[in-house]
Amino acid sequence: MRRGVMGTGAALAALAAVAAWGLAAAAPGAQPSKAPIDVKGDAAARPWKRYPGWPTRDESKFNTLAKLSSPPAPKQPRPVPALTGDPAHGEKLVADRNRGGSCLACHVMGPAGGANLPGNVGPDLSEIGNAGLTDEQLFNFIYDARVYNPDTVMPPWGSHGLFSDQEIMDMVAFLKTLKAPAVFKTPLDDPDKRPVPVEKRDNLDPMENPALWAIDKAKALWKARGPTGFACATCHSNPEDSFKTWAATMPKWEPRLDKVLGVEEFVTRHARATTGFDWLMETDENRAMSVYLHNLANGAPIAVDTSSPQAQAAIARGKELANRKLGQLNFACTDCHGKAANRWIRGQWLGEPRGQYDHFPTWRTSLQAIWDIRQRFQWCQVNIRADELPPDAKEYGDLELYLASLNQGLKESVPGIRH
């Protein structure tokens, strides 16, 4: 037994106490939870190791949700380096997806990249060669556009070390050749005409959504006795009735830990304190339990506590984190899902925050895997070349509560199904 509160000789009195905790755990609302939780240690693996198959770049120089370390924005435009640009090489670089997504992710650029599914987050650059911009302006827009527009969402390609001066000069030389409106081979290639994706699959049909299979696993875990001799079912004998709304009230401020707990971290800590199971976050057992508990609350409107002073403070911190520029690409959550929301980043549609929470944990058809919201947060960061935090980080708790508050009232529909 790792951290169970009860010895193996626990008497009936202890069982009665567990039963009383069970009732408290099922009560939704703003009152602090009385459910026993293990408050010691971490709820996820330490040291945190990135998932297999994810990029292994070292981005420690740049901001994360836990620290500020990115270099400051330059105050003055840089003079143009004494280098000659090669437009043919520049054309290759603007479509190079190994350098943080390629220019085409956000800009239509005439014939570059075969005009294949460009995005429309930034302006159409197909006629930038006619715009009368100087070499210094073109160079600095790529090197670090913040010298001209402090609110830009454009990554600082030069000052964050993604492209060398020579490479930027090559791209400047290519931009100057762009003088005619883009010609799209198919209507789909034009981001302004591309239809908004609609998810039509039935996420609650086990023939469509393999994440539902995790519920069978969770139901077996529910009955399994842990090292203390107790099972979830010992106290929660009828989860279909007692968890009709619980997951929709999470995440929640937890005074005993001085942080916001989501369903997944709650499961880890509550199981340790009751059954003695150690279901760390981002293990199959934890994901299965999270899918099951959310699934039991399907149809319930998301109703997280946003009114207590602690919840309001956490939401304010979460909002600040959502606005923090992160990683080598220097994106904040609110850049893609705020300023650039409802536009295309290459072939991917950027959604608004509302609608990005009610279906988690969700099935990722492209990965054949269940992702909970914390893994989704982690991927957003790794994808923008920032170091992720462990899934139980308090910053993610604040961010999750902020996101949940933006999704208040939407009905749970878990597990979701997404590409």
Partner 1 sequence: MADKPRLKIPSEAKKGDIVEIKTLMPHVMESGQRKDKDGKVIPRKIINKFTCTFNGKPVFSADLEPAIAANPYLQFYVRVEESGTFKFAWTDDDGTVTTAEQSITVG
Shortest Cβ 203–partner 1 spacing (Å): 15
Compute how many other C-beta atoms are within 10 angstroms of the C-beta atom of residue 115: 19
Which of 111, 206, 255, 355 contacts partner 1 by CB under 8 A?
206
Which of 207, 240, 309, 366 contacts partner 1 by CB under 8 A?
207
Shortest Cβ 283–partner 1 spacing (Å): 15
Shortest Cβ 351–partner 1 spacing (Å): 27
169 neighbors 92 (Cβ within 8 angstroms): no
* Chain-centroid distance, C-alpha 369: 15
Is 368 a binding residue for partner 1 by CB under 8 A? The answer is: yes
Looking at the Cβ atoms of 286 and 381, the one nearer to partner 1 is: 286
Looking at the Cβ atoms of 216 and 352, the one nearer to partner 1 is: 216
Is 48 a binding residue for partner 1 by CB under 8 A? The answer is: no
Q: Which residues touch 117 (CB under 8 Å, ≥6 apart)?
A: 104, 188, 189, 191, 194, 344, 346, 347
What does the chain come to in residues?
A: 419
Give bridge partners of residue 253 from the DSSP assignment: 260
* Integer Cα distance of 141 and 319 in angstroms: 28
Shortest Cβ 366–partner 1 spacing (Å): 13
Q: How far is CA 216 from CA 37, 67, 357, 404, in A?
A: 25, 40, 23, 27
Q: How far is CA 346 from CA 102, 103, 106, 189, 379, in A?
A: 9, 9, 6, 10, 18
Q: Which residues touch 374 (CB under 8 Å, ≥6 apart)?
A: 262, 264, 281, 282, 391, 392, 396, 400
Which of 127, 192, 216, 320 contacts partner 1 by CB under 8 A?
216
Shortest Cβ 60–partner 1 spacing (Å): 25
Shortest Cβ 418–partner 1 spacing (Å): 17
* Integer Cα distance of 322 and 332 in angstroms: 6
Looking at the Cβ atoms of 163 and 371, the one nearer to partner 1 is: 371
CA angle 17, 257, 308 (to 5 degrees): 95
Compute and round to an integer the Cα radius of gyration of the chain.
Answer: 25
Query: Segment contacting partner 1 (CB under 8 A): 125-133, 215-223, 267-275, 384-392?
Result: 215-223
- Residue 234 gets which letter from DSSP? H
Give the count of residues interacting with partner 1 (CB under 8 A): 8
Give bridge partners of residue 326 from the DSSP assignment: 331
Is 213 a binding residue for partner 1 by CB under 8 A? The answer is: yes
* Integer Cα distance of 407 and 318 in angstroms: 14
Shortest Cβ 206–partner 1 spacing (Å): 5
Is 20 a binding residue for partner 1 by CB under 8 A? The answer is: no
Is 367 a binding residue for partner 1 by CB under 8 A? The answer is: no
Shortest Cβ 303–partner 1 spacing (Å): 33
305 neighbors 255 (Cβ within 8 angstroms): no
Is 56 a binding residue for partner 1 by CB under 8 A? The answer is: no
Is 220 a binding residue for partner 1 by CB under 8 A? The answer is: yes
Shortest Cβ 4–partner 1 spacing (Å): 25
User: Would you give the binding string for partner 1 spanning residues 96-135, x where CB under 8 A is met?
Assistant: ----------------------------------------
* Integer Cα distance of 53 and 49 in angstroms: 12
Which of 74, 210, 347, 351 contacts partner 1 by CB under 8 A?
210
Binding site for partner 1 (CB under 8 A): 206-207, 210, 213, 216-217, 220, 368
